[in-house]
Structure 1
Amino acid sequence: MKFVPPRVPPATVSEVQVLVADWFRREQRPLPWREPATSAWAVLLSEVMSQQTPVARVAPIWARWLELWPTPADLAQAPTAQVLREWSSLGYPRRALRLQECAAAIVERHDGVVPQIYDDLVELPGIGDYTAAAVVAFAHGRRSTVVDTNVRRVLARVFSGTALPPPTYSAAERAFARAITPELDEQAAAWAAGSMELGAVVCTARTAYCEACPISALCAWRLAGFPEDEHAQVRTTQKFTGTDRQVRGKVMKVLRDAHGPVLRSQIDLVWPDQAQLDRCVASLIEDGLAEQDGEAYSLPQ
């Protein structure tokens, strides 16, 4: 189904924004990167690390990275092997490489200071639309349209009256989110943080805890009787077991845990399908996540 921007009275939009911001100030989770003294670099790290990863797993690794590399210049100069080891179990290790490239770009292009402007941020390696907008809002307190999966779900339910948004984030949906973003910096940043938090802990994909929701009385989905997801037939759950991603993760764990080069005979033990294992090892080398020297493999130095 194509996204059709809902017609919502401006007064309703304003009321929703105020209620969500007030609720967030009272109920927000005490995440370490929300502390007032948190640097823009620390916020950027938290946003990249938190993508598709539970906050509980991110927090200790985030703190460890800041202990080792408190500035972009520190990470830019770090040994790549150490960066990948410290990435630990966050998944998608290419993000760790992109973060190091991002740090180097911040040093080269911006004198080691995280940019405040969206256009500058989105040009950094590994920084997409969401992360750039989030850094503008959460690190610099400036107006930007921050939309992740949680925000999309909140907007779909509250304003469109649907259980979930369309599978694909369209230009029309993006334009609607931008149109309802408050104009003033402080209010826009509060709306961004509050709408994300609401989707993360109250208006979740699995369960809508309407009794805890500050805007349940204004929610179009609730008022319509909670209609089922009209896009359910085209949604699929991405499996993990048996995928190349799982195999790559097993190989990376062997390389991270080793104190030196690892023989191919040791890598062969992690997966029974030799053809799939060969493919995954080759892809890790191609992605710059592993290096080969004859029969020995290691993390890039």
Structure 2
Amino acid sequence: MPVGPSLNRDALASLHARITDWFAETARDLPWRDAGCSPWGVLVSEIMLQQTPVVRVLPVWQEWLSRWPNPAALAGEPAGEAVRLWGRLGYPRRALRLHAAAVAIVRDHGGTVPGTYTELLALPGVGSYTAAAVAAFAFGRRETVVDTNIRRVHARLISGVALPSPSLTASEMRLAAELLPDDDGASVHWNAAVMELGALVCTARVPKCAACPVRNSCAWIAAGEPPPSYIPKGQAWHGTDRQVRGAVMAVLRTAENPVPPEMFHQEPADLGFAPDGVAVPLSALHRLNCGPEQLDRALAGLLTDGLAELHQGGYRLPA
């Protein structure tokens, strides 16, 4: 829905003011929002926060920045160390992408995170959302930042539907661009504020409409809160290849030496020797009772994705 026919300049200015004022009063105190946070810290946070809640990201982000306070520090270590410190955040290929981005930043930008959307987009593993978010939040640039939370707020507030379409559309991007304040600083605050509103108030399942600063302007409420046109499908976990991959990765993160293939397929007691520092995650893997074919698929997939490698007849994190 274009802004012009339904929101005049005064109405849009009112939305800007009410949402950013709400954000100024209620925003969570997150370290990557601190004025002293480096662009590298912002980039790391944006990669970690993809499909992962803040409560899980925060301790890993802090440990990561303590060990690798700049791209050069990470680029100087093996990619496997990035995967190891990634821990249980999930989707560990993001750790490989961050390592690759750090290497590219050192090689192509003298170790300094580039500040424009185009330069950021050229980094390994950085997509259009991340490039826009880092350009905005780390460098104060006017960029159209559109994540799941922002899409949901726009869908309800302006378009009057319960949920945005399953995939990002060109019309959503146009709407987000039309809603963006003209001033650079105001646009950064607007992006952050709408994202926070979606994360804390305009949530997917049970929105807290009574706490919303713009509820009297919400097209979805005015329409009688119609139900969504589709039911979002959650991702299965128990019994899936993803669960087995995660359990194998837990073993590799703990292991000090390459893990022999037979250790994945047999209980340690049956092997006749004690595992090298991997007793707990190895026991957790065996408790899944996955079949040998599923386990072999997980191991092969980790090799293909670069999350593991064969060395001296065993599996280890990439060097």
Query: What range describes the TM-score normalised by the shorter chain of this pair?
Result: over 0.9
- Write out aligned runs for 1:170-189 (5 A): 170-189=169-188
Residue equivalent to 2:271: none
2:244 is aligned to: 247
Q: Where do 5+ consecutive residues of structure 1 fail to align? A: none
**Can you list the C-alpha shifts for 1:24-45, whole angstroms capped at 9, x where unaligned?**
0110001111111000000000
Tell me the equivalent position of 1:126.
125
Q: CA RMSD in A?
A: 1.4
Give the match for residue 258 of structure 1. 255
Unpaired runs of 5+ residues, structure 2, are 267-284
Contact 1:142–1:189, Cα closer than 8 Å, also in 2 = yes
CA contact (8 A) 2:47 2:94 kept: yes
* Residue correspondence of structure 1 range 283-298 to structure 2 within 5 A: 283-293=301-311, 295-298=313-316
Look up the match of 1:14: 13
Q: Which moved more, 1:197-206 or 1:171-180?
A: 171-180
Helix, strand or coil at the partner of 1:99 = helix
Deviations 1:66-104 (A, max 9, x none): 111111111111122221110101111110000000011
Residue number in structure 2 paired with 1:205: 204
Letter aligned with residue 105 of structure 2: I
Q: How many angstroms apart in 1 are the aligned matches of 2:191 and 2:306?
A: 35
| Equivalent pairs, count | 296
Q: How far apart are the structure 1 equivalents of 2:2 and 2:168?
A: 13
- Work out which of the residue numbers 275, 280, 299 in structure 1 matches 2:298: 280
Report percent identity of matched pairs. 50
Shift of 1:5: 4.6
1:268 to 252, 259, 265: 265
TM-score, normalized by length of structure 1? 0.95
Q: CA deviation at 1:283?
A: 1.1
Distance 2:6 2:38 in 1: 37
TM-score (structure 2 length as normaliser)? 0.89
DSSP 3-state at the match of 1:253: helix
2:135 matched to 1:117? Answer: no
Q: Decide whether the 8 Å contact of 2:239 with 2:290 is kept in 1.
A: no
Deviations 1:145-193 (A, max 9, x none): 1111000000000001110011111112111111221111011001100
CA shift, 1:268, in A, is 2.0
Matching residue of 2:67: 68
Query: Do the aligned residues in 1 keep the contact of 2:40 with 2:113 (CA within 8 Å)?
Result: yes
Q: Residues 107-149 of structure 1: CA distance to partner in whole angstroms, max 9, x if unpaired? A: 1111111111101101100111111111111111111111110
With over 3 angstroms needed to count, the CA separation of the structure-2 counterparts of 1:268 and 1:12, relative to structure 1, is: farther
CA separation of 1:272 and 1:243: change in aligned 2, threshold 3 A: closer
Measure the CA separation in 1 of the matches of 2:63 and 2:312: 34
Indicate the structure (1 or 2) with the bigger Cα radius of gyration: 2
Q: Structure 1 100/146 Cα, relative in aligned 2: closer, same or farther at 3 Å?
A: same
Alpha-carbon separation, structure 2, partners of 1:124 and 1:171: 24
